[in-house]
Structure 1
């Protein structure tokens, strides 16, 4: 049996029990893929993140309860939070090697972290899966897509907040998931994110989804710096910026748990 440290962090929030929780597991060497997936399934959080130090940076991988994913914002922020607050990291910048390339995280002030991720502008589509609008319970509306997610634009924040999707039907539409967004009342834009295809009905706060929404809203609102709220039950708050072909997302993290995995290797 081997003991491995694990932390649980609420990301994109300054308050415990807000934002999006992620389990963070630092490793000296990689575990078997099947074991990492089993740990993520056992945690039953939207993401469990594993990372290994290599060649002056960190290699990072993210797992939902059902699958490994190519990009995750809140779990990356949670990892940076643990590196700075628990593992003695002191440099100005953290570099993570990932399936989405090199990702950068800085801490402009204690407790605040800025993610530097690739922008993924969505493309408008004309063929809209009927099951998607039916599952969301909305009338025909603008729909966009990237190689990961669909993005549905609704007319108001209230329309986003009132959604009660049929997740079983929504899981049939393909892609990683469905983002629903609208102009906000107290922020530039709001969103909710649904990923039943990936084992998560609703993700509380989704950094990777903002790499899709930020280019769209920057063009629509004609501004590069914006405030965003993911209006899930737990709520998440992000300061975002479109910087060339990159999206900068800033938020806070709160440590909820420190523990130990006991696993057979």
Structure 2
């Protein structure tokens, strides 16, 4: 069996930055054990699998160790493949997902804009394990359905933290977002997910479902410019739209080929 595959760097205009995702194009769904084995073999933070349907595409996302309910950068990468490699002839693509409902991605100039659910976080008590894992106590801690979010005072602090991944993996959450006001943008962040096989994710679209409503409220504006200050780095153009968030970015083709199984 031959499976067309593309590797796309998402939330960047140039290769070797942003967040790499694999996008695999299937005729029909394969067994989940095969999908998981392909994702493990790719060994990227996410591998997206697409099957075309009557309105667009069914879409699923896998880390090297598990399927996830929502992934931003691999959705952006999937849309990039359809628009620019497969020549999708409409300005919007509808992706049907198992756990996050219908998601659309639209072309807006040189940006691809994703329409995702807004997930405002709620304040919670900081734990000693979180502070020890991050190496510094955050100013505030919040929780969403899946993640913890630690808020710090400066971009320098967020960029400089070197978390203990074994301690982070002990926390009862999918991942940990750290964030602060940005020096040259509205806010910055990083994301750690050792529990799902991603020590640090270079750019995390799904985390911005939490970050956008939080910073929109704090800064008193709905249009936001964000950067993820991982080693690779990435740039996001964001908007809060009631119970949805618009997350836009660029992407670059790194690789195309064929999986043979």
**Shorter-normalised TM-score: what interval?**
over 0.9
> Do the aligned residues in 2 keep the contact of 1:60 with 1:96 (CA within 8 Å)?
yes
- CA distance in 2: counterparts of 1:195 and 1:43, whole angstroms: 17
**Alignment-derived partner of residue 97 in structure 1:** 96
RMSD across aligned C-alpha pairs, in angstroms?
Answer: 0.8
**Alignment-derived partner of residue 245 in structure 1:** 243
1:212 is paired with a residue whose SS is helix
**Alignment-derived partner of residue 186 in structure 1:** 184
Determine if the alignment matches structure 1 residue 130 to structure 2 residue 128: yes
> Do the aligned residues in 1 keep the contact of 2:103 with 2:115 (CA within 8 Å)?
yes
Runs of 4 or more consecutive aligned structure 1 residues displaced over 2 Å after TM superposition:
none
- CA distance in 2: counterparts of 1:49 and 1:129, whole angstroms: 34
**Gap regions ≥5 residues in structure 2:** none
- CA distance in 1: counterparts of 2:94 and 2:207, whole angstroms: 21
TM-score, length-scaled by structure 1: 0.97
Give, in angstroms, the shift of residue 216 of structure 1.
0.3
Give, in angstroms, the shift of residue 140 of structure 1.
4.8
Measured against aligned partners, the alpha-carbon deviations of 1:124-181 in whole angstroms (never above 9, x if no partner) come to 012x332111000112521000111000000110110110000011101021100000
2:106 is paired with a residue whose SS is strand
- CA distance in 1: counterparts of 2:5 and 2:91, whole angstroms: 24
Give, in angstroms, the shift of residue 3 of structure 1.
0.8
> Do the aligned residues in 1 keep the contact of 2:138 with 2:150 (CA within 8 Å)?
no
Measured against aligned partners, the alpha-carbon deviations of 1:182-230 in whole angstroms (never above 9, x if no partner) come to 0000000000100001100000000000010000000000000010000
> Do the aligned residues in 1 keep the contact of 2:111 with 2:248 (CA within 8 Å)?
yes
- CA distance in 1: counterparts of 2:74 and 2:232, whole angstroms: 16
**Alignment-derived partner of residue 174 in structure 1:** 172
- CA distance in 1: counterparts of 2:49 and 2:56, whole angstroms: 14
- CA distance in 2: counterparts of 1:129 and 1:176, whole angstroms: 16
**Alignment-derived partner of residue 211 in structure 2:** 213
> How many pairs were matched up?
260
1:217 is paired with a residue whose SS is helix
Determine if the alignment matches structure 1 residue 83 to structure 2 residue 49: no
- CA distance in 1: counterparts of 2:113 and 2:175, whole angstroms: 24
**Alignment-derived partner of residue 261 in structure 1:** 259
Within a 5 Å distance, the mapping from 1:1-265 to structure 2 comes to: 2-98=1-97, 99-109=99-109, 111-126=110-125, 128-263=126-261
1:208 is paired with a residue whose SS is coil
Bigger drift between 136-145 and 248-257 goes to: 136-145
- CA distance in 1: counterparts of 2:86 and 2:127, whole angstroms: 46
TM-score, length-scaled by structure 2: 0.98
1:15 is paired with a residue whose SS is coil
> Do the aligned residues in 2 keep the contact of 1:149 with 1:176 (CA within 8 Å)?
yes
> Do the aligned residues in 2 keep the contact of 1:174 with 1:197 (CA within 8 Å)?
no
**Gap regions ≥5 residues in structure 1:** none
